[in-house]
Structure 1
Amino acid sequence: MNDQWAGVRDRVAALGTQPACNGVFGALWHRWALDEPLTEEELAGLEGQIGVRLPEDYRTFLLRVAAGGAGPAYGLFPVRRAQSRWRWEGDGADLADLSALAEPFPEQGPDPRSLDDLQAQRPEEEDFDEIEDFDDAIEAWDERWDALMFAPGRTVGAVVISHLGCARREWLIISGVHRGTIWSDDRADDVDLAPCLDANGKPVTFARWYTDWLEQAERLTPPPPSDA
């Protein structure tokens, strides 16, 4: 059987030795370090806790490469066991409901009409005589917007696996029709959740997401020329 992860751990380690390696975005954060891979027993314990089998390319990565560490952006969030419970660790990892990973991730985001209707109701400063009244109105509108965009039910069946800075993150879908794909989360900038797509418009899988990052990093950090 072809092992898609053969040599990947060594390639990451080799990148960390290149003079230009810190020029890769996020490298100063993850420092090219990888956690140890999970054992079969540990993976079974993780999947037993969350009640669902992980997407195949991600679970084999956990077994063959690492439980987390160096990866896209500020790194791949590691999955670790603390006080006999498994969890993903990283900025925003707690946004995921680990008790709901077996529930299917929603097929779509909020009804676009709901977003459009609410956007149309956004207060405008010129409609208020007093700035304090406008501030109160916009604060109330923000609360309604966040309640819609960040409703917990919108991210069931998914885990946060990477942080891009400025509250922008990426999710791996665990359950449902989008299982195994990566979704971007720019809701902090009022941009809805969306699938990451390749150049052909196809959803990006975990394996494609990670190996594309690795190949790009290798192009950015070629080894120095050897002495003639």
Structure 2
Amino acid sequence: MVDQWAGVRERVVALGAQSTSSEVFGFFGHRWVLEEPLTEDGLAELEDQIGARLPEEYRTFLLHVAAGGAGPAYGLFPVRRVQGRWRWEGDGADLANLSMLAEPFPEHGPDPKTLDELLIQRPEEEDFEEIEDFDDAIEAWDERWDALMFAPERTAGAIVICHLGCALREWLVISGSHRGTIWSDGRADDSDLVPLLDDGGEPVTFARWYTGWLEKAEQAVLPASSDL
């Protein structure tokens, strides 16, 4: 597990030093800065607090590359010790309930029939004579949607690790049968949580997620830099 991270921190730092590195999507979120890696004691304290052992690819990343920073989209959310307690920090990181990380990530989302019915019932402005009535109706619908889709138990056993803007985020599953895989969160666009899949249809694990981003960033930056 450790070998897969050999040289990764150095590669990220080298990319950040290139004059064209700002062309990589999300640059303005992380600016190629990497946090210091966690210590063994710090990681042990973190895992003791959450009551779960982190997936191996992620925990070795934390120990040998960084506690967060430069990474996919606007960057990998850092995990930090604040006022004696560990937490992940970033736009939407607080969506994860840290007291539920030892619980298994759910196998299934809401009943598709329930979702379809709720989507069909979504109010349309043209159905109302007064804009105030439409506003009231859409607000009530939003509350029903959020109660169903954002129920804390739906993301038990997972943490938010980055955001893509517009309230779209990605999660890393910590516990359960999907442990170690990345899930895309499109609930802000009236979609749902779905696993990220590679070209072969296989779930993307943390290491493939991060190194895949790094490889694409190098392809985008280094050729352009070599021509200067």
Residues 135-158 of structure 1 deviation map (CA, whole Å, 9 limit, x = unaligned):
322221121111111111111100
**TM superposition shift of 1:122:** 2.1
Q: How far off is 1:61 after superposition?
A: 0.3
Match of 1:164?
A: 164
TM-score (norm 1): 0.95
Q: Distance in 2 between matches of 1:127 and 1:225?
A: 58
Q: Distance in 2 between matches of 1:69 and 1:133?
A: 45
Matched, 1:185 2:185: yes
User: How many Å separate the matches in 1 of 2:145 and 2:227?
Assistant: 57
Note the residue ranges of structure 2 that are not aligned, 5 or more in a row.
none
Counting aligned pairs with the same residue, the percent is: 75
For 2:58 and 2:198, the matched residues in 1 are separated by 18
Amino acid at match of 1:48: D
Amino acid at match of 1:143: E
Q: 1:32 to 1:128 in 2, by over 3 A?
A: closer
Q: Partners in 1 of 2:187 and 2:123 — Cα distance?
A: 20
Equivalent residue pairs, number = 227
Aligned partner of 2:149 in structure 1 is: 149
* Runs of 4+ displaced beyond 4 Å: none
Task: Answer 1 or 2: which has greater helix percent.
Answer: 2
Amino acid at match of 1:205: T
Q: Which amino acid aligns with 2:70?
A: A
Cα distance, 1:126 vs structure 2: 4.4
Gaps of 5+ in 1: none
Distance 2:81 2:2 in 1: 30
In the alignment, the residues of structure 2 paired with residue 73 and residue 126 of structure 1 have an alpha-carbon distance, to the nearest angstrom, of: 37
Residue 191 of structure 1 and its aligned partner are, at CA, apart by: 1.1
Partners in 2 of 1:17 and 1:190 — Cα distance? Answer: 39
Cα distance in 1 for partners of 2:46, 2:167 equals: 27
For the residues of structure 2 that align with 1:113 and 1:192, how far apart are their CA atoms?
A: 14
Q: 1:26 to 1:226 in 2, by over 3 A?
A: closer
Find the aligned partners of 2:198 and 2:210 in 1 and give their Cα distance: 13
